[in-house]
Structure 1
Amino acid sequence: MIKQITYLTFLDALLAGDKLLCQSIVKNLVDNKIPVETIYFDLFQKVMYRIGTMWEKNQISIPVEHHATQIIDELISVTLNASQKEEGNGKRCIISCVDKEYHLLGAKMVSYIFELNGWDTIFLGASTPPKTLVNYVMEKDPHVVGLSNNFHLNFLRLLETIELIKQARPNQQIYLGGQAIGQVADKLPKEHEGVKIFHSIMDLNKHLKEISLQTA
């Protein structure tokens, strides 16, 4: 658990564009052996959700939101490089944002969580068209496809992507996450097997470690 004062100081530094202070805060957490999944969830994810809400309410400008995003993007890579990865487990995942979803940091952190747990991870980034994604899934044959959806306006695109993947690969495991998932979870189709929703990076990390224990 990261202290509230650390979260608030980091948030203020991000909004002020103070990259050096943000770097110092994260370095201190890493030096104190705070697990990367804790940094991702208790700091980065919560801060991103807060900044996203502020942007939606016009409480901050687009340049401020973009600068904060770029700072966190750099820090995500720093924490990964400072972390110890599990031995490769032979499993592969593809992580992508749904079509017209351009906020990719959550999906990027998810891809790193898979990587830290020993998965061969393919991160496609923002806004992958459904048919293109399905073709790539067919080519790469992943154990899991992870889809990120941060805005409720993209919900129909999320549904389309799930439907196309399941038509092509009925047994494909699909993991869903993102800020908007909690708002639309009850609207997702119930008939598809193997579609799982994760509301936080911590939940995903716990799930992946349970899988690792089951297959050990």
Structure 2
Amino acid sequence: MTTSAASRALSDPDLSAEYLHLIGDGDEHAATELAVTLLEDGVPAQRIMVDLIGGTQGRVGELWAANEWSVAREHAATAVSERVLAAVAARVPVRPHRGRVALACVDGEWHGLPARILGELFRIDGWRVDFLGASVPGPHLITHLHQTGPDAVALSCMIPTRLPRAHAAITACRAAGVPVIAGGRGFGPGGRWAERLGADAWAGTAEEAITRLATDWPPAPAPEFPADFLGDEEYTHLVRSRPQLIETAMRRLAEAYPPVDEYDEQQLEATMEDFGHIADFLAASLYIDEPQIFLDFTAWTAAVLAARDVPAAALRAGLHLIRGQLIDFPKATATLDQALAGVKP
């Protein structure tokens, strides 16, 4: 490092930029040295984990979305940050004295670093933490609860498409008698969908989760939650017909969007994945009965495609092709119409 981290404040934007450069370059040694030097200079480990490692990870995602970083570079940088996190955590030994927490990412949720950071914060606060990792199948989670009897389950969901599985996990945890604290932007602004799915508590930040478990746990039993709006006929049809929807859309795409005739194999595979995302986000929107889930997704997708020089007409064509196969389902078509209105030609 050209400048000692010990002489700089964690709030210094140049420090975050340097750390971003190091993890983007795959320089695990220098990135770890920077973080450890901050720790030795008296910066609390929690702040290094949340502000430096966690904050920079958000920037990594932005760089991928802007097409400035490849998926491979994003993954490599994330792996470096995971090892930096482990190095900082190893220098802060704390004997458990509070209780036990099972921490898991929802089945299908692969963004594990935010949950791993939360786990280290729980540990520093005196909890015994069972970090189960990314994409934990619901039955495996419940087996673990029966085997270990934790005081709480902390469940992370970063993408709304995993909400149906989050609902299944929350329901099973409550049936097992273990209260659930939910976190992650997949549960919506302010965690408003976490309550609908039956979570006992919501935490918008790691600090909120720490405070909640330390001062107000276990919570009063959550009221029984209504399930009549979850997984209705439209949702069930969409999930069951997903393969056919994608296959039909791909077959009709050339007629609706002629430039696809020039796509290579990689572009066609990416297009098929995009149709899958459309189906999955629409399904999540129907499951929660919340069109905003899908509208946020299409707005984000339009920005990502624009960064990759894909015209909005391609997204509009894709949405029309899905809509054309769902004309008998009023909520789905109404949601798609709102999305199309928001994607400018």
Which category of TM-score, normalised to the shorter sequence, fits these structures? 0.7 to 0.9
Q: Choose between structure 1 and 2: higher helix proportion.
A: 2
- Bigger relative CO (Cα 8 Å, ≥ 6 apart): 1
Asked whether the 8 Å contact 1:88–1:120 carries over to 2, the reply is yes
Runs of 4+ residues deviating >3 angstroms: 56-59, 181-184, 189-192, 205-212
Deviations 1:157-207 (A, max 9, x none): 1122112212332xx221222343444722233584x62222222323344
1:129: how far off?
0.8
2:91 to 82, 101, 114: 82
Q: Give SS of 1:127's match.
A: strand
Counterpart of 2:154, as a letter, is G
Asked whether the 8 Å contact 2:105–2:112 carries over to 1, the reply is yes
- Report the count of equivalent residues: 208
C-alpha separation in 1, matches of 2:124 and 2:112 = 18
Report 1:67-78 matches (<5 A): 67-78=76-87
Q: Compared with structure 1, are the counterparts of its residues 56 and 174 closer, same or farther at alpha carbon in structure 2 (3 Å cutoff)? A: farther
Report 1:96-135 matches (<5 A): 96-135=104-143
Q: Compared with structure 1, are the counterparts of its residues 6 and 175 closer, same or farther at alpha carbon in structure 2 (3 Å cutoff)? A: same
C-alpha separation in 2, matches of 1:81 and 1:24 = 14
Q: Partner residue of 1:174? A: 180
RMSD (Å) for aligned C-alpha atoms: 2.3
C-alpha separation in 2, matches of 1:50 and 1:182 = 20
2:75 to 59, 62, 66: 66
Asked whether the 8 Å contact 1:2–1:38 carries over to 2, the reply is no
Asked whether the 8 Å contact 1:37–1:202 carries over to 2, the reply is no
User: Mean Cα displacement is larger for which, 11-20 or 23-32?
Assistant: 11-20
1:164 to 172, 186, 189: 172
Structure 2, unaligned runs of 5 or more:
1-9, 218-345
1:141: how far off?
0.9
Structure (1 or 2) with the larger CA radius of gyration: 2
Counterpart of 1:156, as a letter, is P
Q: Give SS of 1:124's match.
A: strand
Deviations 1:110-152 (A, max 9, x none): 1111211222211111111112211221221110101111222
Counterpart of 1:41, as a letter, is V
Identity percentage over the alignment?
A: 22
1:209: how far off?
4.7
1:210: how far off?
3.8
Q: Give SS of 2:195's match.
A: coil
Structure 1, unaligned runs of 5 or more:
none
Q: Partner residue of 2:278? A: none
Q: Does 1:200 align with 2:205?
A: yes
C-alpha separation in 1, matches of 2:70 and 2:50 = 24
C-alpha separation in 2, matches of 1:183 and 1:16 = 33
Q: Give SS of 2:43's match.
A: coil
